[in-house]
Structure 1
Amino acid sequence: MSWALEVATKAGARVASFSTYSAAVFALRMNLPKLIEDGVLDESGNVKGQGKIQMVPPIDASEIPWVSLASTSAPERRRNNIQNVLKTNMSMPLAEVVICNTSMELEPDALALLPNALPLGPLVAPTSRPAGHFLPEDLASLTWLDAQPAGSVVYVAFRSSGFLDATQFQELSDGLALSGRPFLWVVRPKFTTGPGQDRFDLNAFKRRVEGQGLVVGWAPQQRVLSHPAVACFVSHCGWNSTVEGVLHGVSFLCWPYFADQFCNQSYVCNVWGTGAKLRRDERGVVSKEEVQRKVARLLGDGEVKARAATWKEVACGSIREGGSSHGNLLKLVSLLRQQ
């Protein structure tokens, strides 16, 4: 949408842009030319250097969002991603402010690299009505949660961008069953991809875990995350889901897929200390044993739970009256009133 900034500027309009991802990813975007200059990657997105990129949060060079968006078998797509970022970066300074869905407390180091950033988050939609999707929410999930013990439920949702092949789907379902924990799993229509995508019998699985787990097509995520029964969130770590999880004080089992999700995982695991990473085996699959093991470890870790509660208070404090994001909202209102 960089063209919109250019058109507005030519028309004499003042411009504020809105970043849908973290301040860290926006800072990484603006520093992409420097990474190329330093030999971390080339202008086609080929990774040249190994090891961590020492920003906050730290990530591997292969996890740079515009590199991970394309597989190694799609070099032209990867090159287009990088070239598009380099081109559109030229228009970013046209924005008077960049509104970010974050707060000074969540991302102080990244925001320090963005002098025109205005953090207003965490931004949350009203819980009274669905927003931002086109599938009907299954409110039966809330009734089911009401019957579960406090701090017991594993919530699994990859929202709108996660796809699992049949093998991975089977491993995840077996792992949830083996965990022995109550779980709420959001499974969208056409939930598997690739060879054998039709071989998983979801109805049979529902019967198998009846009394332990509930599988729904969609769920009111904020209301689920705020429910006292929910203990942890198995997530792809998209920024919206990450911010929502932090705001509601849940711990994470991180399962990133592409783009900025690896950076968000690093925040959760390496900076905030509110979750753990699910690791793939030699097949490239998160095994049922890994799911079972990590669920048990995370739900038994009182320190992670305490840190999640602390970050919840930090996030909620920023949007209360007198908080940093509330103050920035007033600044934005003042800017809008200026002639």
Structure 2
Amino acid sequence: MAKLKHVLVVPFPTQGHITPLLKLSHCIADYGAKVTFVNTKSIHAQVMAATCGLDVGSDRIKFIAIPDWFEIDEGRKDPTNMVASHLRELIEKVKQQSNGNEDEQIGFVIADLTAGWALEVAERMGIERTGFWPASVSTLALVPHIPRLIEGGVIDDNGVVLKNDLTVISKDLPPYKSNDFTWNCPEDPTMQKILFQYLSSIPPYKKQSNSFICNSFHELEASAIGVILGALPIGPLIASARLSHLKGSLWNEDMTCLKWLDQHPTQSVIYIAFGSTSIFSPEQFYELAHGLEQIARPFLWVIRPDLTSRPITEFHNGFLRRVRNYGKVVQWAPQEEVLAHPSVACFFTHCGWNSTMEALSSGVPLLCRPYFGDRFLNKSFICDVWRVGLGVDADENGVTTRHEVMKKMLMLLGNEEIRANCPRVKEMARKSVSEGGSSPKNLQNFIKHLIA
């Protein structure tokens, strides 16, 4: 096999971005490339603490850290420039330690498009590079049209919707509803502004690489892939069993839930997980909990310690006592294994792209309750295009009530059309990653760029 370049991988420092890029890193390492995976110090520490048995110094993938943004004196320099400076120093350090061996030096950079400053560093240092997009291609297709939306008065300079119009960017794509905009965050206006600024910065970074890799597959998003030039779908990126200790999780996975699932009949358990960033008010949490309690079916619920905006210890403990005969709560779960388990009947989800891809790959119906960002557009595709799930609605106070949860959950479990569509999409995903499928072909074409 031809010698491959040493690849530096730079994710945006959150769970939903680290996970798919680490899976991609393992795919590249399978071809024989040496990979160095860069996290910020705090994220690196979390990954190391949550990953049992990880050999940090392995030849397969080396994990290293650069300073966190909050460690930087913002009064002196721009944090982004400072982080970029630390990345340059890292690349130079690797070069010095190589003792002139070009195979050991960084020869290629793969960076999350939302960490596009890393692509700038690579460009200035004369290193080949490509971007990675961790969300749907349909989500990215909207981003280049942000200036036109501002000029047309659809949104303001901070992404706030001014007109509730349908936005058509291509005859081949469904119109975008205003509440499906990628930066939408109705429960946190400050987060919406930050997200909008990040997304607005992507087009220039995207020009720094002729193509970009994405965690999707051609058969699922053919229209969007046709609209966005350079999209290279290699998904769904699913971790293999032998890499179960190398997922890059920021929390310890509670493996006891798999044995608990073993005790339940086929398609009997409701799985509930709202990702790594969703935050609920106590009122919203109460309604979700009461809804599950009233359904009275076996459920497995992932409740992070920071899932609610205020502590609800007394209610939480009382809830656990009431549902102890049929409900199990964990702080974090091995989600791919859970979704692949035959006892799981459906997935109550925040519609993050990683979760969506994992559910589609396992043929599990989805009940959708987005929190922010691309999750709203994902919900629209899940419910209206692929027709593999239903959405829950909020009342006039923005709360999804227990009655809504119970009603939609029972509708989902009894929906024959969705039950028929899920295996069809699952098979589509399986074929895409099988030998001769579209995704392996795209990955092999990309690997050619890594040949030294």
Say whether the fold is shared (TM-score over 0.5): yes
| 1:64 matched residue in structure 2 | 181
Residues in 2 aligned to 1:301 and 1:70: alpha-carbon distance in whole angstroms: 30
Task: Indicate the larger mover: 107-116 or 122-131.
Answer: 122-131
Shift of 1:202: 2.1
Residues in 1 aligned to 2:260 and 2:427: alpha-carbon distance in whole angstroms: 27
| 1:260 matched residue in structure 2 | 374
The one-letter code matched in structure 2 to 1:61 is S
Tell me the secondary structure at the aligned position of residue 17 of structure 1. strand
| 1:152 matched residue in structure 2 | 268
| 1:108 matched residue in structure 2 | 222
Residues in 2 aligned to 1:51 and 1:303: alpha-carbon distance in whole angstroms: 30
Task: Indicate the larger mover: 181-190 or 30-39.
Answer: 30-39
Tell me the secondary structure at the aligned position of residue 66 of structure 1. coil
The one-letter code matched in structure 1 to 2:434 is R
The alpha-carbon distance between structure 1 residues 168 and 69, as it changes in their structure 2 partners (threshold 3 A), is closer
Runs of 5+ in structure 1 lacking a partner? none
| 1:301 matched residue in structure 2 | 415
Tell me the secondary structure at the aligned position of residue 306 of structure 1. helix
Shift of 1:81: 4.6
| 2:307 matched residue in structure 1 | 191
| 1:319 matched residue in structure 2 | 433
Tell me the secondary structure at the aligned position of residue 427 of structure 2. helix
| 1:139 matched residue in structure 2 | 255
The 5 A counterparts of 1:14-163 are 14-54=128-168, 56=173, 58-68=175-185, 71-72=188-189, 74=190, 81-127=195-241, 128-129=244-245, 131-163=247-279
Shift of 1:166: 1.1
Tell me the secondary structure at the aligned position of residue 321 of structure 2. helix
The one-letter code matched in structure 2 to 1:141 is C
Runs of 5+ in structure 2 lacking a partner? 1-114
Shift of 1:24: 1.0
Shift of 1:52: 2.6
Larger Rg: 2
The one-letter code matched in structure 1 to 2:413 is L
Residues in 2 aligned to 1:70 and 1:191: alpha-carbon distance in whole angstroms: 14
Residues in 1 aligned to 2:199 and 2:186: alpha-carbon distance in whole angstroms: 13
Shift of 1:69: 7.2
Residues in 2 aligned to 1:70 and 1:52: alpha-carbon distance in whole angstroms: 22
Shift of 1:216: 1.4
TM-score (norm 1): 0.92
Residues in 1 aligned to 2:339 and 2:197: alpha-carbon distance in whole angstroms: 38
Over aligned residues, Cα RMSD in angstroms?
2.0
Task: Indicate the larger mover: 62-71 or 151-160.
Answer: 62-71
| 1:220 matched residue in structure 2 | 334
Whether the 8 Å CA contact 1:232–1:250 is kept in 2: the answer is yes
Which of the pair has the greater relative contact order for Cα pairs under 8 Å at 6+ separation? 1
Residues in 1 aligned to 2:424 and 2:135: alpha-carbon distance in whole angstroms: 23
Residues in 1 aligned to 2:393 and 2:245: alpha-carbon distance in whole angstroms: 35
| 2:385 matched residue in structure 1 | 271
The alpha-carbon distance between structure 1 residues 146 and 114, as it changes in their structure 2 partners (threshold 3 A), is same
Residues in 2 aligned to 1:80 and 1:245: alpha-carbon distance in whole angstroms: 29
Tell me the secondary structure at the aligned position of residue 31 of structure 1. helix
**Residue identity (%):** 41
Shift of 1:280: 0.7
Whether the 8 Å CA contact 1:233–1:253 is kept in 2: the answer is yes
Alignment partner for residue 125 of structure 2, among 11, 18, 41?
11
Deviations 1:8-67 (A, max 9, x none): 223322221111111111111122223223332232323222133346454422432224
| 1:282 matched residue in structure 2 | 396
The alpha-carbon distance between structure 1 residues 12 and 60, as it changes in their structure 2 partners (threshold 3 A), is same
Shift of 1:84: 4.5
Tell me the secondary structure at the aligned position of residue 214 of structure 1. strand
Residues in 1 aligned to 2:259 and 2:200: alpha-carbon distance in whole angstroms: 49
Residues in 2 aligned to 1:154 and 1:309: alpha-carbon distance in whole angstroms: 18
The alpha-carbon distance between structure 1 residues 44 and 190, as it changes in their structure 2 partners (threshold 3 A), is closer
Residues in 1 aligned to 2:292 and 2:434: alpha-carbon distance in whole angstroms: 37
The alpha-carbon distance between structure 1 residues 80 and 324, as it changes in their structure 2 partners (threshold 3 A), is same
Tell me the secondary structure at the aligned position of residue 193 of structure 1. coil
The alpha-carbon distance between structure 1 residues 295 and 46, as it changes in their structure 2 partners (threshold 3 A), is closer
